Amino acid sequence: MSDGLFLTLEGIDGAGKSSHLDAMEALFKARGRTVVRTREPGGTPLAEILRGLILEQPMDPLTESLLVFAARRDHVVRVIEPALARGDVVLCDRFTDATFAYQGAGRDFDTQVLSTLEQWVQGGRGAAGLLQPHVTLWFDLAPEIAAQRLAGARLPDKFESQPVEFFRRVAAGYAARAVADAPRFVRIDASQTRDQVWQQVETALVARGALAPESGAAR
Protein backbone atom coordinates (compact mmCIF):
# COMPACT_ATOMS: atom_id res chain seq x y z
CA MET A 1 0.00 0.00 0.00
CA SER A 2 2.23 2.81 -1.31
CA ASP A 3 4.48 3.99 1.55
CA GLY A 4 1.72 3.99 4.14
CA LEU A 5 2.60 2.86 7.64
CA PHE A 6 0.12 1.12 9.94
CA LEU A 7 1.04 1.18 13.64
CA THR A 8 -1.10 -0.14 16.48
CA LEU A 9 -0.89 0.19 20.25
CA GLU A 10 -2.22 -2.70 22.33
CA GLY A 11 -2.52 -3.62 25.98
CA ILE A 12 -4.95 -4.14 28.81
CA ASP A 13 -6.91 -1.23 30.26
CA GLY A 14 -4.63 0.82 32.51
CA ALA A 15 -1.40 -0.08 30.69
CA GLY A 16 -0.93 3.56 29.63
CA LYS A 17 -0.63 3.04 25.88
CA SER A 18 -2.99 5.88 24.91
CA SER A 19 -0.94 8.44 26.85
CA HIS A 20 1.87 8.12 24.27
CA LEU A 21 -0.23 8.79 21.16
CA ASP A 22 0.34 12.55 21.28
CA ALA A 23 4.12 12.08 21.34
CA MET A 24 4.01 9.51 18.53
CA GLU A 25 1.88 11.77 16.37
CA ALA A 26 4.23 14.71 16.97
CA LEU A 27 7.26 12.57 16.19
CA PHE A 28 5.96 11.49 12.80
CA LYS A 29 4.71 14.96 11.91
CA ALA A 30 8.16 16.34 12.72
CA ARG A 31 9.49 13.93 10.09
CA GLY A 32 7.10 15.38 7.51
CA ARG A 33 4.55 12.56 7.59
CA THR A 34 0.79 12.96 7.46
CA VAL A 35 -0.72 11.17 10.44
CA VAL A 36 -4.18 9.66 10.80
CA ARG A 37 -4.88 8.98 14.46
CA THR A 38 -7.75 6.67 15.24
CA ARG A 39 -9.02 3.97 17.59
CA GLU A 40 -10.98 0.74 17.90
CA PRO A 41 -13.73 0.09 18.40
CA GLY A 42 -14.48 3.34 16.60
CA GLY A 43 -12.82 5.57 14.05
CA THR A 44 -15.90 6.31 11.93
CA PRO A 45 -19.36 7.69 12.84
CA LEU A 46 -20.91 4.23 12.49
CA ALA A 47 -18.10 2.48 14.35
CA GLU A 48 -18.34 4.99 17.21
CA ILE A 49 -22.05 4.17 17.60
CA LEU A 50 -21.18 0.49 17.72
CA ARG A 51 -18.41 1.26 20.23
CA GLY A 52 -20.99 2.65 22.63
CA LEU A 53 -23.01 -0.54 22.39
CA ILE A 54 -19.96 -2.78 22.78
CA LEU A 55 -18.62 -0.97 25.84
CA GLU A 56 -21.90 -0.44 27.68
CA GLN A 57 -24.52 -3.02 26.71
CA PRO A 58 -24.57 -6.58 28.06
CA MET A 59 -24.39 -9.20 25.30
CA ASP A 60 -23.08 -12.68 24.63
CA PRO A 61 -19.53 -13.12 23.25
CA LEU A 62 -20.66 -13.90 19.69
CA THR A 63 -22.83 -10.78 19.46
CA GLU A 64 -19.98 -8.76 20.92
CA SER A 65 -17.49 -10.17 18.42
CA LEU A 66 -19.79 -9.57 15.46
CA LEU A 67 -20.27 -5.93 16.47
CA VAL A 68 -16.52 -5.47 16.94
CA PHE A 69 -15.80 -6.79 13.46
CA ALA A 70 -18.68 -4.82 11.92
CA ALA A 71 -17.16 -1.65 13.38
CA ARG A 72 -13.73 -2.74 12.15
CA ARG A 73 -14.95 -3.35 8.61
CA ASP A 74 -16.33 0.19 8.35
CA HIS A 75 -13.14 1.54 9.91
CA VAL A 76 -10.89 -0.38 7.51
CA VAL A 77 -12.85 0.58 4.39
CA ARG A 78 -13.46 4.24 5.24
CA VAL A 79 -10.33 5.23 7.16
CA ILE A 80 -7.42 2.80 7.32
CA GLU A 81 -7.14 1.58 3.73
CA PRO A 82 -7.59 5.05 2.15
CA ALA A 83 -4.97 6.51 4.51
CA LEU A 84 -2.45 3.79 3.71
CA ALA A 85 -3.11 4.18 -0.02
CA ARG A 86 -2.26 7.90 0.34
CA GLY A 87 1.00 7.02 2.07
CA ASP A 88 -0.08 8.30 5.49
CA VAL A 89 0.92 7.02 8.91
CA VAL A 90 -2.03 5.39 10.68
CA LEU A 91 -1.75 5.36 14.48
CA CYS A 92 -4.50 3.14 15.84
CA ASP A 93 -5.32 2.61 19.51
CA ARG A 94 -6.10 -1.13 19.35
CA PHE A 95 -6.99 -3.35 16.40
CA THR A 96 -7.69 -7.06 15.86
CA ASP A 97 -5.19 -8.26 18.48
CA ALA A 98 -7.49 -6.71 21.08
CA THR A 99 -10.38 -8.83 19.83
CA PHE A 100 -8.40 -12.04 20.23
CA ALA A 101 -7.25 -10.87 23.69
CA TYR A 102 -10.55 -9.55 25.04
CA GLN A 103 -13.22 -11.60 23.29
CA GLY A 104 -11.04 -14.64 22.62
CA ALA A 105 -9.03 -15.04 25.82
CA GLY A 106 -10.98 -12.79 28.16
CA ARG A 107 -14.45 -14.05 27.18
CA ASP A 108 -13.16 -17.54 26.30
CA PHE A 109 -14.73 -17.25 22.87
CA ASP A 110 -13.85 -19.53 19.95
CA THR A 111 -10.71 -18.13 18.29
CA GLN A 112 -11.45 -20.08 15.11
CA VAL A 113 -14.61 -18.01 14.69
CA LEU A 114 -12.56 -14.87 15.31
CA SER A 115 -10.02 -15.98 12.70
CA THR A 116 -12.82 -16.47 10.17
CA LEU A 117 -14.21 -13.01 10.89
CA GLU A 118 -10.68 -11.60 10.62
CA GLN A 119 -10.33 -13.12 7.15
CA TRP A 120 -13.70 -11.76 6.04
CA VAL A 121 -13.02 -8.24 7.30
CA GLN A 122 -9.28 -7.87 6.62
CA GLY A 123 -8.64 -10.36 3.82
CA GLY A 124 -9.21 -10.48 0.09
CA ARG A 125 -6.48 -8.00 -0.81
CA GLY A 126 -4.68 -9.90 -3.56
CA ALA A 127 -0.97 -10.21 -3.05
CA ALA A 128 -1.20 -8.07 0.09
CA GLY A 129 -3.25 -10.80 1.78
CA LEU A 130 -4.55 -10.07 5.25
CA LEU A 131 -4.46 -6.45 6.35
CA GLN A 132 -2.35 -6.29 9.51
CA PRO A 133 -0.33 -3.54 11.20
CA HIS A 134 3.27 -3.16 10.14
CA VAL A 135 4.28 -2.77 13.82
CA THR A 136 2.30 -3.45 16.99
CA LEU A 137 3.51 -1.94 20.26
CA TRP A 138 2.26 -4.16 23.09
CA PHE A 139 2.21 -2.30 26.41
CA ASP A 140 2.64 -5.18 28.85
CA LEU A 141 1.64 -4.54 32.46
CA ALA A 142 0.63 -6.77 35.36
CA PRO A 143 -3.17 -6.67 35.70
CA GLU A 144 -2.87 -5.87 39.42
CA ILE A 145 -0.88 -2.70 38.66
CA ALA A 146 -3.26 -1.75 35.85
CA ALA A 147 -6.21 -2.06 38.24
CA GLN A 148 -4.50 0.30 40.69
CA ARG A 149 -3.98 2.85 37.93
CA LEU A 150 -7.62 2.65 36.85
CA ALA A 151 -9.05 2.91 40.35
CA GLY A 152 -11.06 6.10 40.63
CA ALA A 153 -9.89 7.43 37.27
CA ARG A 154 -13.41 7.63 35.82
CA LEU A 155 -16.65 5.71 35.66
CA PRO A 156 -15.53 2.36 34.23
CA ASP A 157 -17.09 0.77 31.16
CA LYS A 158 -18.14 -2.88 31.22
CA PHE A 159 -14.62 -4.09 30.40
CA GLU A 160 -12.77 -1.82 32.83
CA SER A 161 -15.07 -3.01 35.61
CA GLN A 162 -14.14 -6.67 35.09
CA PRO A 163 -12.25 -8.48 37.89
CA VAL A 164 -8.48 -8.87 37.82
CA GLU A 165 -8.79 -12.49 36.72
CA PHE A 166 -10.43 -11.34 33.48
CA PHE A 167 -7.45 -9.11 32.74
CA ARG A 168 -5.05 -11.94 33.53
CA ARG A 169 -6.71 -13.91 30.74
CA VAL A 170 -6.59 -10.87 28.43
CA ALA A 171 -2.89 -10.37 29.16
CA ALA A 172 -2.26 -14.03 28.39
CA GLY A 173 -4.17 -13.57 25.13
CA TYR A 174 -1.89 -10.70 24.14
CA ALA A 175 1.17 -12.76 25.04
CA ALA A 176 -0.06 -15.60 22.81
CA ARG A 177 -0.61 -13.20 19.90
CA ALA A 178 2.88 -11.78 20.38
CA VAL A 179 4.42 -15.24 20.22
CA ALA A 180 2.38 -16.18 17.14
CA ASP A 181 3.40 -13.04 15.23
CA ALA A 182 6.75 -12.10 16.76
CA PRO A 183 8.07 -10.10 13.76
CA ARG A 184 5.20 -7.64 14.10
CA PHE A 185 5.06 -7.29 17.88
CA VAL A 186 7.29 -5.23 20.15
CA ARG A 187 6.84 -5.71 23.88
CA ILE A 188 6.93 -2.47 25.87
CA ASP A 189 7.51 -2.78 29.62
CA ALA A 190 4.70 -0.52 30.78
CA SER A 191 5.64 -0.83 34.46
CA GLN A 192 8.43 1.73 34.06
CA THR A 193 8.20 5.52 34.33
CA ARG A 194 6.50 7.50 31.57
CA ASP A 195 9.86 8.71 30.19
CA GLN A 196 11.33 5.21 30.27
CA VAL A 197 8.29 3.82 28.47
CA TRP A 198 8.54 6.54 25.83
CA GLN A 199 12.20 5.71 25.27
CA GLN A 200 11.24 2.10 24.63
CA VAL A 201 8.59 3.26 22.15
CA GLU A 202 10.98 5.47 20.20
CA THR A 203 13.71 2.83 20.20
CA ALA A 204 11.25 0.25 18.90
CA LEU A 205 10.07 2.50 16.07
CA VAL A 206 13.66 3.05 14.94
CA ALA A 207 14.56 -0.63 15.28
CA ARG A 208 11.55 -1.70 13.18
CA GLY A 209 12.30 0.86 10.46
CA ALA A 210 9.30 3.08 11.12
CA LEU A 211 11.60 6.02 11.92
CA ALA A 212 15.07 7.00 10.81
CA PRO A 213 17.69 6.66 13.58
CA GLU A 214 18.35 10.39 13.71
CA SER A 215 14.80 11.19 14.82
CA GLY A 216 14.68 13.17 18.05
CA ALA A 217 12.34 12.57 20.95
CA ALA A 218 8.93 14.25 21.05
CA ARG A 219 7.23 15.15 24.30
32 assigned binding-site residue: no
Q: Which of 83, 111, 88 has its CA nearest to residue 176?
A: 111
17 assigned binding-site residue: yes
Contact residues for 116 (Cβ-Cβ < 8 A; gap 6+)? none
Judged on CB neighbours under 10 Å (0-12, 13-18, 19+), 55 is middle
Contact residues for 131 (Cβ-Cβ < 8 A; gap 6+)? 6, 76, 80, 81, 122, 123, 125
18 assigned binding-site residue: yes
152 assigned binding-site residue: no
158 assigned binding-site residue: no
16 assigned binding-site residue: yes
One-letter amino acid of 199? Q
Q: What are phi and psi of 65, to 5 degrees?
A: -65, -40
42: which DSSP letter?
-
Residues forming the annotated binding site? 11-18
Annotated binding residues for ATP, as ranges? 11-18
